[in-house]
């Protein structure tokens, strides 16, 4: 049975949601790359940690348990953790669904702050623009091309889940693979 699982995909593809559900079902610890990538600030997701600090924090947390699920992308900065992965799950979702989810999540998190003249308006628009490029962009940024290239080089088992599925459907697909 796989005990060290990494789940990745485009922003708003459901990686964190699936990881939390899988963690609840298996009892494995859940970690999210955003917690290592970003410094906690009053305005979240605006200050990046340096790579060495991200790696050290994640190394400590992953080292404290033998059963874990790591959600989010760490291509490039987190490649040192590849040897620890036993299963990598890649979630793929059509762009229009992802962007609709992303905007909905931003509205839920920040409310009117993302509206014009709101405190997060420009950050929100920049984030949506960045996330919209995922399917077409090259390997210079977090993109389908980068993820495809990264996945092709992994020495562990890779499970791709494509399309708009419920959390329960995705959970069942992963759980079957775990057995």
Tens of pLDDT along 97-117? 999 999 999 999 999 999 998
Q: What is the mean pLDDT of residues 144-156?
A: 97
pLDDT bracket for residue 44 (50, 70, 90): confident
pLDDT at 2 over 90: yes
CATH number at residue 172: 3.40.50.300
- Mean pLDDT value of segment 104-133: 94
Asked if pLDDT for residue 42 goes beyond 90, the answer is no
Question: 101 with 61: CB under 8 angstroms?
Answer: no
Q: What percent of the chain has pLDDT over 90?
A: 94
Structure tokens at 63: 């080292």
Whole-number pLDDT of residue 170: 98
Report the number of distinct structural domains present in the chain: 1
**Contact at 8 Å (CB) between 49 and 36?**
yes
Q: Which domain, by its residues, includes 47?
A: 4-178
């Amino acid at each position: 049975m796989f005990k060290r699982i990494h789940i990745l995909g485009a922003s708003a593809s459901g990686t964190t949601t699936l990881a939390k559900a899988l963690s609840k079902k298996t009892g494995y610890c859940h970690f999210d790359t955003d917690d290592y990538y970003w410094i906690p600030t009053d305005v979240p997701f605006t200050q990046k940690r340096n790579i060495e600090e991200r790696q050290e924090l994640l190394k400590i947390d992953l080292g404290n348990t033998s059963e874990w699920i790591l959600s989010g992308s760490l291509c490039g900065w987190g490649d040192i953790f590849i040897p620890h992965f036993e299963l990598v799950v890649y979630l793929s979702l059509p762009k229009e669904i992802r962007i609709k989810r992303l905007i909905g999540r931003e509205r839920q998190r920040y409310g009117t702050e993302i509206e014009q003249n709101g405190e997060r308006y420009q950050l929100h628009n920049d984030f949506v623009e960045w996330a919209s490029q995922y399917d077409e962009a090259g390997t210079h940024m977090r993109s389908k091309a980068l993820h495809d290239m990264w996945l092709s080089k992994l020495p562990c088992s890779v499970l791709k889940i494509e399309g708009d599925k419920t959390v329960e459907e995705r959970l069942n697909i992963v759980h079957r693979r775990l057995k």
